[in-house]
Amino acid sequence: MARRIWIATVLAVGMAWQVAAQDSGIRFVRAPEAGDTGPRITIQITEEDMARQGAPAEAPATALGPVAPPSDMAYDGASAWFWAEVPSQMPADPTRFWAAQEHLALAPEASGLGAPRLDTVSRIAATHGREILAATIGTQVSPAFALAVIAAESAGRPEAVSGAGAQGLMQLIPATAERFGVEDSMDPSQNIAGGVAYLDWLMGEFDRDPILVLAAYNAGEGAVTRAGGVPDYDETRTYVPRVLAAWGLARGLCNTPPDLVSDGCVFQVMN
C-alpha cells in the first residue's frame, strides 16, 4: 500500500513539472540514443553576436595604497623630542615653522642641541654681514637665515672642511659649488653667494617651508623627496632644530627682527 502511494506521488510531481514547463514555454528534449540519425540542431555564434555580448569583464586591478609617510613617532634619535611636536612630512607647510620656534623656546631639551652661541653668531655678523647682505638681495632668503646656516655649518670658519668634502662658511660640497657658479669655496664672498643661491632655490622647490628647506640643505633635495619629508638621518634631524635655534639668535641682531626666513634684515653690527 505504501509503495503504491509513493509511486502515485512521484507520478503526480512529474506531471506537475510537465504542466509548469509547458506553461512557461520550456520544452524538454531527450538526449539522442547511440546510432540515432534523426535531425540535429546546429547552433552558430557569429562575430557580431560576440560583439553584442561585449568582451568578458576583466578582474579589477588591485589598488595599491599610498606610500606611508615617515612616522615622527617612530623616530627615536637624539632630537625625537623636537619631531614629536613638529610634523616632518610633505607636503610643504610653512606654518609648521611657528610651531617649531615655539617648541624650541619652551623645551628644556633644546639646550642639548649644540646650537651656536650668541657671541659666535654676532662675530659672524660683524665679519661677514656685508657679504651676507649683498648675497641675499633679490632672493627669498633673509640675511638672518643665511647667518644662522653659516653659524651652524662652520661657526664662521672660512677654511672649514668636513669629512664629506664640504667646504667653507656654508659648507658647500663640490657639486653644489659648481652648480651655483662657485669657483673657490674657500673665498667667503663666493661661498656665501653660492650657499644663499642654493637656499633660494630650495625655497622655491619646497614652497618656502623652512623645515624642508633646511633638511634639503643638509641631506640634499633628493633625499627629502624620496623620504616624503625630513629623512630619518640623525644628522639631519638634529641639524634642522639647531639652525632654527641659531635663527632665533640671528634675527635678534637685526635692526628690525624678521618674522619670516624670507624677510629682509640689516645687522646692527657690521665691520
**Cα within 13 Å of Cα(67), Cβ side:** 9
Please report the pLDDT score of residue 78 as a whole number: 82
CA dihedral sign of residues 81, 82, 86, 91: negative
- CATH class held by domain 116-251: mainly alpha
pLDDT given for residue 74 in this prediction: 62
State residue 77's pLDDT score.
Answer: 80
Q: What is the pLDDT of residue 6?
A: 41
3-class state of residue 229 by DSSP: strand
What was the pLDDT predicted at 179?
98
Model pLDDT, residue 39: 52
**Which amino acid would we find at residue 183?**
E
Show Cβ contacts of residue 262 under 8 Å, excluding neighbours closer than 6 positions.
140, 141, 142, 145, 203, 208
Cell 506537475 found at: 16
pLDDT means per 10 residues, the chain with 271 residues, are 42 42 45 52 45 42 40 69 95 94 93 93 98 98 99 98 97 98 98 99 98 98 98 97 97 97 94 73
Catalytic residues: 153
pLDDT of residue 176: 98
- pLDDT at residue 38, as a whole number: 52
